[in-house]
Amino acid sequence: MIVYCATSNPGKLREFQLAAPDFDVRKLPNPDPPPDETGDTFEHNAMEKAVAYGQHVEGYLFADDSGLEVDALNGAPGVQSARYAGEHATDTDNNALLLKNLAGVANRTARFVCVIALVKDGKPVKTFRGSVEGRILDGPRGSGGFGYDPLFFHEPFGCTFGEAPIGDKMLVSHRAQALSAMFSFLRQLPS
Ligand code: ITT
């Protein structure tokens, strides 16, 4: 089955395309302009993106809204994860601000959250959520992954998501869980 996705983030795209070899996951060409992410939940923003981009596609399309929730920062950066250090912030800017805001803070617990929203012919079908626990280190480790991965230490791995092979991240990650739930849902639809 062909399923379209819409994202401007190459790190996400790579993970979308690794998640289900039995699906043909295609990137929507030129998904610009992106919708403003106005909501305060991952569900709201994921569905807003999927509905906006789904207008251009016949059949199924999904979009991902995701981010990092840090307990000592009351869940920040949360839905603002991509723009934590400003509208055009890079991963390096966001990571630097996170470390600054956690300087001297002992409680480093955090989780990644991902919500995938699925639409058909541009109309909402369902959302799927995944999350994974970790803690934020004092500095980056590893050059794999994207975003906050080099700061996110996952205890069962004994390393950060930036150090783990992509295949290992895909066994446990927030995005892998949400994608797996979506592909299971699609597989059980009558053909
Ligand atoms: P699209 O909206 O175009 O898909 P985006 O990067 O703007 O791409 P979001 O608004 O959902 O997407 O922001 C997600 C941010 O959360 C992302 O840019 C990272 O900073 C962070 N993030 C999400 N998942 C992550 C992961 O698996 N590893 C590291 N950081 C992640």
- Across the range 65-78, mean pLDDT stands at 98
Nearest CA to ligand 1 atom 19: 147
Q: Active-site residue among 64, 65, 91, 149?
A: 65
CA angle 68, 53, 44 (to 5 degrees): 40
Give pLDDT tens digits for 77-113.
999 999 999 999 999 999 999 999 999 999 999 999 9
Count: domains in the chain: 1
Closest CA to 111 of 76, 87, 142, 163: 76
CA 44/CA 134 separation, integer angstroms: 25
| Candidate from 4, 148, 160 with most ligand 1 atoms within 8 A of CB, to mutate | 148
Q: Determine if the peptide bond prior to 190 is cis (ω within 30°).
A: no
CATH number at residue 45: 3.90.950.10
Residue 36 confidence (pLDDT) above 70: yes
Strands (E), the chain: 2-5, 24-27, 60-70, 109-120, 123-136, 152-154, 159-160
Reading phi first (left if > 0) and then psi (alpha if -120 to 50, else beta), residue 37 is in: beta
Which ligand 1 atom minimizes the distance to the CA of 146?
Answer: 29
The confidence score (pLDDT) of residue 31 equals 61
Residue 29 confidence (pLDDT) above 80: no
Pocket of ligand 1 (CB under 6 A): 7-9, 12, 34, 37, 64-68, 81-82, 94, 112, 145-149, 161, 173, 175
Domain of 117, in residue numbers: 2-187
Q: How many CB atoms lie within 10 A of CB 55?
A: 11
Of the listed ranges 36-45, 86-95, 98-107, 122-131, the least confidently predicted one is 36-45
Its pTM stands at 0.96
Which residues pair with residue 25 across a beta bridge? Answer: 3
Residue 56 pLDDT level (bands cut at 50, 70, 90): confident
